[in-house]
Amino acid sequence: MSSLALKWKGIMLTAVLMCSAPVWAADQLVVADFSSAINASGVPAGWEVKEKSGKADFAVVKDDGVAALRLRSANTSFSLQKEVHVDLKQYPVLTWKWKVTKLPRGGDFRKSKTDDQAAQLFVAFTRTKSIVYIWDTSAPQGLMEDTSPIPFMHVKVVVVRSGPAETGKWITETRNVYEDYKKLFGEEPPAVSGMRLQINSQHTGTSAESYFANVAFKKQ
């Protein structure tokens, strides 16, 4: 391989690594802004698609000038996930933008037969502990509950938004994950190890649509 080809290969490898890794700044860690590269399958760099039921329907789009990940579910369940490493003592606050344009009719996470949401943001700490911030169709806003279907799993749900009143518009959310973890688990949080953006409507047999953008951990 010529020296020019080797140089070009090195530049391309560096670009891929820069696109896929979280971006550190003095006051924040950007997990996703969805304005960077996507691979040949349309998946944002650094993210992985997981299909639980049916085929994933997603795209990176510009919506009202916002670079966003658009998720659509038609009797399906899927997510995009990535590894992240965040010390919550340094970066305790999670911020993100989301918009829901269609809620799964009859969705309510409190019952297994209706446990569908248009937008779910999972923050994983260990293989058995995570917090999921959701926009539910029916469960009251502000509700915080354990929804673990398996005894050794501990998934804590926080209903950040509920119902259709604010659908169709971008909303910026701010959560102190450090404090949420202490309140929900009663102990100091370990480092964040991963994040998942999910949508599902297979339990209700309906459909849903949501958008995510500008996900970052920040100093307080």
Q: What is the second-level CATH architecture of the domain 3-218?
A: Sandwich (2.60)
* Beta bridge partners of residue 213, listed in sequence order: 97
pLDDT attached to residue 24: 54
CA atoms within 13 A on the CB side of 68: 21
**Would you place residue 13 in the very low, low, confident or very high pLDDT band (cuts 50, 70, 90)?**
very low
Average pLDDT, the chain: 89
Percent of all residues in the chain with a pLDDT value above 70, rounded to a whole number: 87
Cβ-Cβ contacts under 8 Å for 73 (sequence gap 6 or more): 54, 57, 104, 116, 118, 199, 200, 201, 202, 207, 208, 209
Distance CA 54, CA 163 (A): 25
Q: Domain boundaries in the chain?
A: 3-218
**More confident site: 38 or 88:** 88
Grouping H, G, I as helix, E, B as strand and the rest as coil, residue 179 is helix
Mean pLDDT across 120-130: 97
Answering whether pTM is above 0.75, one says yes
Cβ-Cβ contacts under 8 Å for 140 (sequence gap 6 or more): 159, 162
Q: What Å distances lie between residue 67 and 1, 54, 152, CA to CA?
A: 38, 26, 38
**Would you place residue 17 in the very low, low, confident or very high pLDDT band (cuts 50, 70, 90)?**
very low
Question: Do the beta carbons of residue 158 and residue 131 sit within 8 Å?
Answer: yes
Q: Exposed/middle/buried for 166, CB within 10 Å: 0-12, 13-18, 19+? A: middle
Mean pLDDT across 33-38: 86
pLDDT in tens, 181-217: 999 999 999 999 999 999 999 999 999 999 999 999 9
**Would you place residue 16 in the very low, low, confident or very high pLDDT band (cuts 50, 70, 90)?**
very low
**More confident site: 151 or 41:** 41
Mean pLDDT across 121-128: 96
Distance CA 10, CA 198 (A): 34
